[in-house]
Chain A
């Protein structure tokens, strides 16, 4: 915590199963209720018990956009954490540990080593996770917060486990609090209070809630990290919200069921991660051919194949661009953070409904499994809903037999390319939707001897509707001074970390601006070209090895970036990585900077 503003990062390290989430949640809720801003990232392994986890929980009085660069306080729940992370602690920081079990390492001078004799403080409690509660008491004391706040938080978090559990924990927390008051140095100034209480959510919760606000009535998934949080939220809220939630047998079923539900009229959505998305791609093309509005979420993780299931990457851009065979219309969007993810879902549903095509949303583990504060007033639970050209009223079937379709053309070749859509079940509009190429009436032309005219007409009709609707998507805008020395281009989740890196660069005397890209399709080639052609030095920042976005940018604009900052070790960027990359490139050392991830390992 170096700046004048309150900005503090708590690291909690231990093994899976040691109960890291509970103290993390209690601290997070305590801070956001106080009106402080929060950004947390949980670095973990694909192990249910054991392994190593480091939860970095950053809290500040001002808006923050990443989990930061350093730790100010480290809570070691096991020896492993002490061994791994003590070297990261700078003078003036705190290291808490259970002195019954953990042997402290050699700390840098000025690090406050804070041993907690947990057994003595808890009357020999045999509760294995009681050290976490003792530590919570100590942390609250070090931060100069009052104990009543923590007591209330424990009550809230543990209340459902019964009075006895709450009492045991309150006592343990009190033990930690009093011990810290007597033995540990505390923060040299009070923790501020924000303007108003904030809320807290994860990116996956934001995506799920965005679906609920958009009117999703059918959600289907196969569990796959890091997208599973969306399924959990949907399942927990399904009955209250009237959402049909299904866990299907595989991602093929997920994608096809979702399209079936969407075709029958529901706003329908599904989510998965890399490998699951690969399985879904044939169906996405089906939605393109049948003109079904439907939303697919791919929460990217480190690939290829099974890859690193609990690590982050922006490696599926070309998979999304190439999802399914053939040319077809789709939207692809990569929101920049959790709130943007929430807002993007209803926006995307409106677009796909108007365009009658699939939409793909690219999130990643950084956004989806991250925990963030959010201003509750910034969450618009009632976004506008536009279902496009939907026929909702039945009409009398003509003819004596009542079976006619009145000449309804499901795939009518209109000027905009958009053909008014009737839902199955409606009288007077009977048609067949086919994945084979078809004519305006849905009848297959794939089996005709040769009909280049009809095929071309239908390809152009579908293309036209995207062009028509794409106009509604806003182009990206440059953030920061137009004449900056460096223009940083990022897409999706790198938004926050680039934003913070730019502030740090300013402190180092480098002016930089930021062109964040959210919409991949439609891509605003002209606007982006205009901005980049005026820029002095363009550096593309992305969390993958090959520069997937840089390649896409070049394919769409002809613009070859001057430099690149890339990371592909499974962990997200920290702001200082980007600062170092920019400085190295300004010094002419490299045009492709790959930071060393020294921290969370």
Chain B
């Protein structure tokens, strides 16, 4: 199968037209509730990839299940809308098969931190070059309002009418501890800031995790736009040094009158999974390599059996 790789033919000769965010608008309009925080995330990703000069066919978005996981359908690029919780696993396979793709994984807090929690930790540990954007609304929206792994203790939902008795998880600390090399938090109500974070995350070599406060206006009456607007402070304004691991952990633990957004942690030193994988060092994307064995390989295998 002689498929030209991106480096060979993907970028076609001729005038390169600078695309705009509008060019990344998908075939269908989002069916999110009016006012949903996910609109802000979608717009920010569209602006970010346009500003980075990416083209739709160079991008693969992968999602799981949930309101926010409908993202690929609203975005003009290659997309995979997969199973609940499995987006990172699918994306890992796709990225390893074609490491020239820019792979953006999108989903929600239930999808990513609940049912997909194990994959989240391991994707971070592998430092695979994915950008993982979690639209965190601290509730299960598509199933009409139950607890999520990030719901606050005491929160009353349809599945916790007397208040949640479980602690919420801290996704930033989990990914920092697990080995993610880019850990950030955004707020859907602060689009300009979010676009910058997404651009940096896509450009970062390695696992980039952005947790985005994306209020659910229908089911979560606690973590609303006003709730975040009153509390959110940009780390950039505090002079935070993202290479300081300990400071990143400390800032990630702050939750109260102040809640930080911005780039918590970034490590440039660690090689990505793809860079460490000797098979990928042998050439272009695996997906485009010729199939079958060489005479020499076959002989060697047979000899070993004799």
Binding site for B on A (CB under 8 A): 32-33, 197-201, 205, 209, 212-215, 217-218, 220, 237-244, 246, 248-250, 252-253, 256-268, 282-283, 286, 290, 374, 376, 379, 381-382, 385, 387, 390, 392-394, 396-397, 400-403, 423-436, 441, 443-444, 447
Contacts and interface: CB of A to CB of B under 8 A. Distances in A.
Interface stretch (B35-43, B132-140, B238-246, B273-281): B273-281
Given A201-B305, A241-B297, A434-B81, A424 B94 contact: yes
B306 A33 contact: yes
Contact of B94 (A200, A260, A374, A403): A260
B83 A256 contact: yes
B57 A242 contact: no
A450 to B, nearest CB: 16
A432 B287 contact: no
Contacts of B57: 394, 397, 424-430
Contacts of B10: 394, 425, 427
Contacts of A200: 305-306
Interface stretch (B70-78, B158-166, B180-188, B252-260): B70-78
A563 B86 CA distance: 45
Contacts of B306: 32-33, 197-200, 376
B76 A430 contact: yes
A432 B55 contact: no
A303 B93 CA distance: 30
Interface string B13-52: 0000101101110111001000000000000000000000
B287 A265 contact: yes
Given A244-B280, A432-B73, A401 B94 contact: no
Contacts of B90: 256-257, 259-260, 263
A343 to B, nearest CB: 15
Given A260-B91, A434-B73, A443 B28 contact: yes
B234 interface: no
B55 to A, nearest CB: 6
Given A403-B23, A434-B81, A443-B73, A260 B291 contact: no
A256 B12 contact: no
Contacts, number: 248
A458 to B, nearest CB: 15
Contact of B277 (A244, A262, A390): A244
Contact of A265 (B3, B19, B23, B118): B3
A233 B293 CA distance: 16
Contacts of B101: 264, 424-425
A444 to B, nearest CB: 6
20 contacts: A215-B291, A217-B289, A249-B119, A253-B86, A256-B82, A256-B90, A260-B80, A264-B93, A264-B95, A265-B3, A382-B293, A382-B298, A390-B1, A425-B10, A427-B55, A429-B57, A430-B57, A432-B26, A434-B73, A444-B81
Contact of A387 (B1, B22, B76): B1
Pick from A212, A267, A381 the residue with the most CB of B within 10 Å.
A381
B1 A392 contact: yes
B87 to A, nearest CB: 8
Contacts of A423: 3, 98, 287
Nearest to A254: B89
B282 interface: yes
A264 B279 contact: no
Contacts of A433: 79-81
Contact of B3 (A243, A244, A392, A402): A392
B25 to A, nearest CB: 9
Given A200-B305, A282-B83, A430-B77, 12 more contacts: A199-B305, A205-B305, A261-B97, A283-B83, A397-B56, A403-B76, A427-B12, A430-B78, A432-B26, A433-B80, A434-B73, A435-B65
B302 A394 contact: no
A264 B97 contact: yes
B12 A401 contact: no
B73 A268 contact: no
Given A253-B122, A381-B293, A403-B56, A243 B94 contact: no
A244 B126 CA distance: 15
B105 to A, nearest CB: 11
Contacts of A435: 65, 81-83
Contacts of A385: 291-292
Contacts of B56: 397, 403, 430
A237 B301 contact: yes
B6 interface: yes
Contacts of B12: 394, 396, 427
Interface string B82-110: 11011001111111111011000000000
A264 B180 CA distance: 24
B8 to A, nearest CB: 10
Q: Which 9 A-B pairs have the closest CB atoms?
A: A260-B93, A215-B291, A265-B287, A432-B79, A257-B93, A256-B89, A264-B97, A381-B298, A199-B305
Contact of A253 (B19, B26, B60, B89): B89
Given A261-B93, A263-B94, A402 B17 contact: yes
B55 A402 contact: yes
A249 B118 contact: yes
Contacts of B153: none
Nearest to A387: B1
A263 B291 CA distance: 16
A260 B62 CA distance: 9
